[in-house]
Structure 1
């Protein structure tokens, strides 16, 4: 049986007794209530250094059994900051560190229309720094003794217009990717072209979400989510799929894939302009 909401609240209450842990937020599909019995439960552990990972590790073993462990901050990479992959009462539960001062900084940058995609294992497009406030906006707070998370959540739930404008302006890169992908057709460089089109689709998806004033915090499902937005280009997801389906070592097929993508960039630009009016 899956961990209940009461179980998660009790767990969060134990986590905030660990020195450095300031609050716990339920994220992912469980927070959106779209989870299935196979879904992991994602818990964001919002902290300020120093984080007592020794005590956190002891708690992980108490809850998950012998062999359960947690990382030091930064052990998984610069943006997926660390945590633990546990099984609690038979359910997969991920503890994910979030440096609260960094969340505040990323929110300030987003408010001013500044963002970057950052290299991180497991994220082929890169982690957008605005995903930190976006996670909090979309999450469900389970424990927040000081009230700091709730105060910040109220702010980040309003998508900042400067970030929307910046993401739409970022469509210049999608247009640029069309051009450089075309130069690879004569070489039959299908993997390079596929990489260009993957990033192009991601840039378009983020622009559409920005124009719609909605947080997009992960590549997973990004194209489907963008295609479902009111005002998105017609058959957005199907056309992205068609572009990738055309990629092989045939120059005619590669050109077709790029042509499909080029049309999507133009239509995405028009759609975003209409959504921002």
Structure 2
């Protein structure tokens, strides 16, 4: 941690960088020995990426691919994948003013979803607020990120209500739509609908518990431990993808199981 704090302090001196925080599993305590160290670089344009490239090259003396803002897509803003002292350390840009705007949306019960490489379900806009809420601030000269973190620690009730309402109507809707594909043996379409339906339930269960979801990885397993989860939720959800088959009959069987799971979960959800 001392090494990360040192790195964060130097990054915070770069023009445009407002604060640096440790995020992901390393911040939440869910890390495995081989988990990456995710450093969120909270910035305001213009960001001095030339200075970031120089800092990235210091450990090895070789050039490192450091993107401009937006280089990785619309939601995971950009950054660099590094190895420092034998450990993977990822820098991930976060436009601080955009995070603030999304936080304001959260308090009004508004959220967006966007396509992003590496996120098959899509990125929920409020994930970047969750990163602030659960992150560990390493460098924040002006105290701005710490102040925002304190405000985001309390999960907004309007956002909770919106995510639960979204699951209640869309999960049954998309599973009903999947039946058209099942009748034609459309495994690809049915699998996508199943994935979307489970994702909706996962987000609703976390919202009900007032927990932030940062990404899809591990989210089903985590949802199974939440108070509103039905017994065996994770096993039942994962089982939907184990062998849905390619025939209309097997696909309909998988959708029957998904309908039952969605109905049970939604029946337990209250805002």
Shorter-normalised TM range: over 0.9
Structure 2 segments unaligned to the other structure (5+ residues): none
CA contact (8 A) 2:67 2:80 kept: yes
CA distance in 2, matches of 1:179, 1:112: 30
SS at match of 2:20: strand
Structure 1 segments unaligned to the other structure (5+ residues): none
1:63-74 map, 5 Å: 63-74=59-70
Per-residue deviation at 1:143? 0.4
Per-residue deviation at 1:37? 2.4
Per-residue deviation at 1:137? 0.5
SS at match of 1:184: helix
CA distance in 2, matches of 1:36, 1:233: 27
CA distance in 2, matches of 1:245, 1:70: 38
SS at match of 1:218: coil
How many pairs were matched up?
A: 270
CA distance in 2, matches of 1:98, 1:42: 12
Equivalent residue for 2:123, pick from 127, 137, 147? 127
Per-residue deviation at 1:231? 2.3
Question: Are 1:206 and 2:203 matched, yes or no?
Answer: yes
Per-residue deviation at 1:188? 0.2
Deviates more, 1:63-72 or 1:136-145: 63-72
**CA gap 1:46/1:166 in 2 versus in 1, 3 angstroms:** same
CA contact (8 A) 1:74 1:81 kept: yes
Per-residue deviation at 1:64? 4.5
Per-residue deviation at 1:229? 0.4
How high is the TM-score relative to the length of structure 1?
0.95
1:225-264 map, 5 Å: 225-264=222-261
CA RMSD of aligned residues (A): 1.0
SS at match of 1:126: strand
- 1:223 aligned partner: 220
Per-residue deviation at 1:34? 2.5
Equivalent residue for 2:35, pick from 39, 56, 78? 39
Equivalent residue for 2:173, pick from 151, 176, 185? 176
How high is the TM-score relative to the length of structure 2?
0.97
CA contact (8 A) 1:64 1:89 kept: no
CA distance in 2, matches of 1:106, 1:50: 20
Q: List 4+ stretches of structure 1 deviating above 6 A.
A: none
